[in-house]
Amino acid sequence: MPDNESELREACGVFGVWAPGTPVSHTVYLGLFALQHRGQESAGIAVSDGAKIWVDKDMGLVSTIFDDHRLRALQGHSAIGHTRYSTTGASSWMNSQPVYRAAAEQHFALAHNGNLVNTAELAQAAGMAVDEIGSDSDVVAALLAKELSADGQDHGSDALMPSFLQVLRRLEGAYSFVMLTDHFLVGARDPLGFRPLFLGRLHDGWVLASETPALDVVGAELVREVEPGEVVVIAEGELVSHRPFSGEAATPRLCSFEYVYFARPDGYLGGQNVHRVRQRMGEALARQAPAPADYVVPIPESGIPGAQGYAKQSDLPYVDGFIKNRYIGRTFIAPTQELRRNAVRIKLNPIRENIEGRRLVVVEDSIVRATTLRETMRMLRSAGAAEIHLRVLSPPYRWPCFYGMNTTDRSQLIAANREVEEIRTYLGAESLAYLDIDAMVEAISPDSAPGLCTACLTGEYPTPLPS
């Protein structure tokens, strides 16, 4: 549900490429362009030519920051990139990524998707003062720099990977990293695999990306997911896999909201096409909560496949109820209530012809804060909707996320302290139903054990929580 105030925001997209003799910065640009939905506050690219690392980053969208001239200045054999939404650390140039550090004659650039839950403890271990803590990614870079210079000796490039693996063992929470050094491209995923990370082949080279469509757009072939708890190191064109975490592999906990909202529908997660998963959620919702209606209407964009599934299962006609303005970037926070209402219309405008006098099933992917959704319901009503039966493709979002979503404040979650009936009244719908959690998990993973995080829906967190 897109809006400044109520949008669920993902914590970043990462991309990496090792492909000597090719324009790697342009490849990263295209990869980041495909991952733009994962973060729109800032973006950056780091390139290595084997002796130096250059980093170029700025606030804004990938397409507004980089042009051909800027990309041509970034020459090398390997590169990483990042698109950012802030979770730990403010939205500022200082906290944009990739982060760069040099220590003990070594240097590296690091880009991170996810959120750590022991940042304060790590910052202390890195010797950072409270006012020095920027993003949790910066803390990881500081810790690695400290590890590298621990004994004051220069151990050469051989020291970097053992030190990085040592640092990874101290991290708690969610991370998919890409890291660039003079000699290596590295991808690392936390032991529970909260955030996705994929490995692809680009001719003789390698690509790492948060989502599979980013592999598609650069012409890379999907090899496999980087597995939870795996670190892949690409050097001299060869890939070596490390398993730095001791003990039995834990059950994976891929974020279920990657399927509900964040991931691109053309992508694959856990072997499942995201668009098809959302359709199955809609089908399950139609079985669970049928409604007397004339039309099924999606709230664009992520409600669309769910509405298609609901319509098919319930044998009701699917129609568009809104036109979404595709060209809008971030909007300003409007100073008056009236302008704020209009700001919703800038993004979404109703098609009166399909609404007036109709009983509508309206399909939404999730309800988090509900401020924008309330305005959307008002729009439908003022366009003449006779009845609105709101159907939601996920269970009530009741608990904060500490693994990379911007929902750490429970007081802002509408379902945290309200029953479904109160939410229905607040939104002004004739009926409201959420998909049951078992049905959601079944829709995500019909053939195998799911291995999902559902903490924001159940309150059952798979790691210790931040103090």
For ligand SF4, the closer CB: 348 or 453: 453
**Cα diameter, the chain:** 77
Residue 47 Cα to chain centre, angstroms: 23
Residue 373 amino acid letter = L
Tell whether residue 255 is a contact of ligand SF4 (CB under 6 A).
yes
Contact between 398 and 456 (Cβ < 8 Å): yes
Calculate ∠ Cα 5-6-12, nearest 5°: 90
Tell whether residue 415 is a contact of ligand SF4 (CB under 6 A).
no
| Conformation bin of residue 357: beta by default, left when phi > 0, alpha when psi is -120 to 50 | left
Tell whether residue 405 is a contact of ligand SF4 (CB under 6 A).
yes
Tell whether residue 443 is a contact of ligand SF4 (CB under 6 A).
no
Tell whether residue 453 is a contact of ligand SF4 (CB under 6 A).
yes
CB of 187 to ligand SF4, least distance (A): 19
Contact between 184 and 161 (Cβ < 8 Å): yes
Tell whether residue 455 is a contact of ligand SF4 (CB under 6 A).
yes
Q: Would residue 456 show up in a list of annotated catalytic residues for this protein?
A: no
For ligand SF4, the closer CB: 20 or 265: 265
CA-CA distances (angstroms) from residue 107 to 40, 50, 144, 166, 169? Answer: 27, 11, 10, 17, 20
Q: What are phi and psi of 385, to 5 degrees?
A: -60, 130
Size, binding site for ligand SF4 by CB under 6 A: 11
CB of 248 to ligand SF4, least distance (A): 22
The one among 33, 257, 268, 295 contacting ligand SF4 by CB under 6 A: 257
The one among 53, 401, 414, 423 contacting ligand SF4 by CB under 6 A: 401
Tell whether residue 194 is a contact of ligand SF4 (CB under 6 A).
yes
The piece of 28-36, 61-69, 144-152, 254-262 that touches ligand SF4 (CB under 6 A) is: 254-262
The piece of 126-134, 304-312, 400-408, 426-434 that touches ligand SF4 (CB under 6 A) is: 400-408
Tell whether residue 434 is a contact of ligand SF4 (CB under 6 A).
no
The one among 18, 85, 295, 403 contacting ligand SF4 by CB under 6 A: 403
The one among 86, 118, 256, 372 contacting ligand SF4 by CB under 6 A: 256
Tell whether residue 259 is a contact of ligand SF4 (CB under 6 A).
no
Q: Which residues bind ligand SF4 (CB under 6 A)?
A: 194, 255-257, 401, 403, 405, 453-456
Residues noted as catalytic: 12
